[in-house]
Amino acid sequence: MAEVKFAAERRMGPPGSDNWLAMLDGAEAILREEGHAALTSRRVAEQVGVKQRLVYYYFRTMDDLIVETFRRLSQRELARLETARASDLPLREIWDMCIHTADARLVAEFMALAARIEGLGKEVIHFIETSRRIQTEAIKKAMAAHPAGLSIAPDTLVLMATSLALTLTREAELGVEMGHGGALAVVARMLDALEPS
């Protein structure tokens, strides 16, 4: 005899609706301005101007809301990277993205949350590896067009550049400048060698 299903599947709000998107916007703003400790369903509801229970009509759990918030941000960033890669000066465009648009606070918040939310951890890994592949392909193409005699593997160079950009951004937000000028000069020389403008 087949098992009787007693509980009906919970009805959920439609992904992509105005309320759903507003909640992603609200979660993103809270993470950026107040940090993950402040990210609760009550706080998201206040931010959006809805009742708290409505958050759970659109997202089964707060973890689901966090994962969707990151997924939307990562899709946006990957699209920007693809646009930069297709530009006339892809390395310069990608570096400019990394150095001027990295939101160090938001990155730190998502990395902290990824350690405890399995689904988010998977999304973060997917984003890092996909963005690194896009950047690596741009560097490989530049190395083939303008051999600069670099003995660094393209994916290693990407890791070094993105890590440097994040460090420079975080430190600049704190007011640290020591070493920044020299690091930026090294990057400028590498860009001149790989992608003459």
Q: How confident is the model over 108-138, as pLDDT tens digits?
A: 899 999 999 999 999 999 999 999 999 999 9
Work out the average pLDDT over 82-101: 92
CA distance 189 to 160: 15
The token pair at 157 is: 């160079």
pLDDT score, position 8: 52
Look at the block and give the residue holding tokens 């606070």: 105
pLDDT score, position 108: 86
Q: Please compute, for residue 60, the number of CA atoms within 13 A of its CA located in the half-sphere on the CB side.
A: 5
Q: Which residue has the higher pLDDT, 1 or 186?
A: 186
What backbone phi and psi angles, to 5 degrees, belong to 177? Answer: -125, -15
Q: What is the dihedral of CA 59, 61, 62, 66, to 10 degrees?
A: -60
Among candidate residues 9, 16, 47, the one with its CA nearest the CA of residue 31: 47
Q: Which residue has the higher pLDDT, 197 or 171?
A: 171
CATH of 11-60, one of 1.10.10.60, 1.20.1560.10, 2.60.40.1220, 1.10.3720.10: 1.10.10.60
**Residue type at 142?**
A
pLDDT score, position 35: 92
**Residue type at 147?**
P
pLDDT score, position 6: 44
CA distance 110 to 115: 9
For residue 1, pLDDT beyond 60: no
Contacts of 158 (CB under 8 A, 6+ apart): 132, 135, 136, 139
CA distance 3 to 151: 63
Tell me how many degrees the CA angle 191-88-139 measures, rounded to the nearest 5: 45
Q: How confident is the model over 137-188, as pLDDT tens digits?
A: 999 998 888 877 778 899 999 999 999 998 998 899 899 999 999 999 999 9
CA distance 27 to 25: 6
Q: Which residue has the higher pLDDT, 43 or 11?
A: 43
Which of 19-23, 26-30, 104-108, 167-171 has the least mean pLDDT? Answer: 104-108
The torsion region of residue 124 among left (phi > 0), alpha (psi -120 to 50) and beta comes to alpha
Q: How confident is the model over 49-84, as pLDDT tens digits?
A: 999 999 999 999 999 999 999 999 999 999 999 999
